[in-house]
């Protein structure tokens, strides 16, 4: 599985805990523990698909555009990590005279596809809000954020 999925979930949970406040990529990358450019890459995909809104400028940043209870991990998995369960290389050669070698890629491909479907279906039952609840009501993360007015949400 790739790390973009974890980054996406982390950022959306973080933002869901901030209610009317925005967070910039520096705040988010500090929480995630990775470079801001890597976080911005994932956030760009999330924004493009309607999970986030942004505000430019000195006090700009990211804000959830959907309620956290409506965002399912399955959606995020398919968006940023779909197909990553299977390995990038599989043993065997399709033209081989060995029955194992000639069939291994196809058989393992269908096994990984089944695993992807099962994992995706499992994730469909977990929302960002569920993850937030699992984390609990721990200490608030410190941010350099400002509340966002309703007119700034577009």
| 111: nearest Cα among 78, 85, 89 | 85
**Which range is least confidently modeled, 76-85, 102-111, 130-139?**
130-139
Predicted local confidence at residue 1, as pLDDT: 65
In this predicted structure, the answer to whether residue 149 has a pLDDT above a threshold of 50 is: no
**How high is the mean pLDDT of the chain?**
85
Q: C-alpha distances in angstroms, 2 versus 5, 15, 21, 87, 137?
A: 6, 21, 29, 11, 28
Output the pLDDT for position 151: 44
> What pLDDT score does 105 carry?
87
Q: What is the pLDDT of residues 20-73, one digit of tens each?
A: 678 888 899 999 999 999 999 999 999 999 999 998 877 788 999 999 999 999
User: What's the pLDDT band for 148 if we cut at 50, 70, 90?
Assistant: very low
Task: In whole angstroms, give the CA distance from residue 13 to residue 128.
Answer: 6
């Amino acid at each position: 599985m790739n790390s973009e999925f974890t980054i996406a979930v982390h950022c959306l949970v973080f933002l869901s805990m901030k209610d009317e406040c925005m967070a910039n990529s520096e705040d988010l990358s500090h929480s995630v523990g990775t470079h801001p450019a890597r976080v911005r890459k994932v956030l760009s995909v999330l924004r493009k698909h309607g999970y986030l809104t942004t505000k430019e400028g000195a006090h700009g940043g990211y804000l959830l555009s959907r309620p956290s209870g409506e965002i399912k991990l399955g959606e995020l998995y398919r968006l940023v990590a779909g197909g990553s369960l299977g390995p990038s290389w599989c043993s065997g050669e399709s033209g081989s005279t060995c029955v194992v070698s000639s069939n291994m890629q196809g058989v393992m491909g269908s096994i990984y596809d089944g695993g992807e479907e099962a994992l995706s279906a499992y994730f469909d039952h977990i929302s960002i809000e569920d993850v937030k609840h699992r984390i609990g009501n721990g200490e608030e993360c410190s941010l350099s954020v400002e509340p966002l007015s309703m007119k700034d949400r577009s």
